[in-house]
Amino acid sequence: MSKVPELDQVADARRRLAAHARLPLGYWVFYGVALVALAGLPLWTSWLGAADHPLVSWGVAALGIASAGYAWNRRRRTGVHLPKRVGAYPSARPWWLAGLALTLAGFGAIFTLVAQDLRPVAYGVLPVVAIAVFALQLKTRSAMERDLQEGRVRP
Amino acid sequence: MTGRDPLFETGPRLALCALLQGAEWVEFATTRDMLGVSDSVVSKHSRTLEEAGYLEVRKGSVGRRPRTWFRLTAAGQSALRGHLDWLAHLRHALDDAPHAGNTAGGTDYDDAVT
């Protein structure tokens, strides 16, 4: 207890709110699978015929819709609407930008390797990219939680 | 706005505003559960904060059930930041005081900071 109990109340309220930034294990399992599926798209499409490409597009669209639906349902169920913009979380933003840069670079690298017929190398790069992006996403979420706990968020 | 704001010194108003500070909207029942208070306490204090222009209240429904959401206005955010700065200064003043007493359960802040 600090000597100013009001500050303890504030810290407690912020902790309770920050708990809503934590995502369940099931989410992370699904995210990991989706991440490998998306990062490996150049590989999977190289095995598929041109006729199957619309299926891939529909798959990506379904993933996007499922993701938006999950976020909407979670807000509705918990009653807490946290800011969606990563810019509202000052210490999470650098991690998010790093994750975005790595995702683009990794996807580009895998795409280039597949285009140059270096599929075995691309298969080796895929888990490295997926693990790094996954780790950065975890860092982003924990930075968001910390920002909420410390009252740095600007909705 | 900076400094102490007596409006935050009654009931769970400070905790309520601290809860809303980092969120876009928080639903009435969630607010009540997170603060561990009754419906009437949330209603009473949210109304006071709304009248002061610190809180925005939105009414709607989820399915057929009516729902109420709260969020801090820009004025509320600013007043809360000022009050929290004042409390932080107060804490430093108390920490630096050689014979700082236990203030739990009520503090005469005017005496402590002068």
Give the pLDDT of residue B2.
62
pLDDT tens-digit map of A59-76: 889 999 999 999 999 998
Does domain B6-96 match CATH 1.10.10.10? yes
Instruction: Test B18 with A5 for CB contact under 8 angstroms.
Output: no
Q: Is A21 contained in some domain?
A: no
What residues form DSSP beta bridges with B25?
A81
Q: At what angle do helices B13-21 and A5-18 cross, to 10 degrees?
A: 40
Distance from C-alpha of A71 to C-alpha of A84, rounded to nearest angstrom? 10
Q: How many domains does chain A have?
A: 1
Identify the band that residue A2 occupies on the pLDDT scale cut at 50, 70 and 90: low
* Domain region containing A64: 33-149
Chain B residue closest to A85 (CA)? Answer: B24
For an interface test with A, which of B26, B31, B72 has the most A Cβ atoms less than 10 Å from its Cβ? B26
Q: B25, B77, B95, B111: which to substitute to probe chain A, counting the most A Cβ within 10 Å?
A: B25
pLDDT digits (tens, 9 = 90+) for A83-119: 999 999 999 999 999 999 999 999 999 999 999 999 9
In chain B, domain spans? 6-96
| Chain A nearest-CA residue for B36 | A13
In order, the DSSP letters of A111-137 are HHHHHTT-HHHHHHHHHHHHHHHHHHH
Does the residue A16 lie in any domain? Answer: no
From first to last of the 114 residues of chain B, give the pLDDT tens digit: 568 999 999 989 999 999 999 999 999 999 999 999 999 999 999 999 999 999 999 999 888 889 999 999 999 999 999 999 999 998 888 888 776 555 444 444 544 443
Chain B residue whose CA is closest to A149: B22
Q: Which of A1, A3, A9 sits opposite B94 (nearest CB)?
A: A3
Q: What is the pLDDT of residue A22?
A: 93
Q: Is residue A11 part of a domain?
A: no
Instruction: Check residue B104 and give its pLDDT.
Output: 44
- What digits encode the pLDDT tens for the residues A128-155? 999 999 999 999 999 999 999 999 998 8
**Residue-level pLDDT at B34:** 93
Residues 64-83, chain A: which have Cβ within 8 Å of B?
A: 76, 78-83
Q: Does ipTM come in above 0.90?
A: no
Query: Considering the domain boundaries, does residue A26 fall inside one?
Result: no
pLDDT at B78: 94
Domain membership flag for residue A65: yes
Residue A46: predicted pLDDT:
85
Give the pLDDT of residue B113: 44
Chain B contact probe: residue of A1, A10, A15 with most B CBs at under 10 A: A10
Contact across the interface for A17 and B25, Cβ inside 8 Å: no
Q: Is residue A74 part of a domain?
A: yes
- Residue-wise DSSP of B39-92: HHHHHHHHHHHHHTTSEEEEEEEETTEEEEEEEE-HHHHHHHHHHHHHHHHHHH
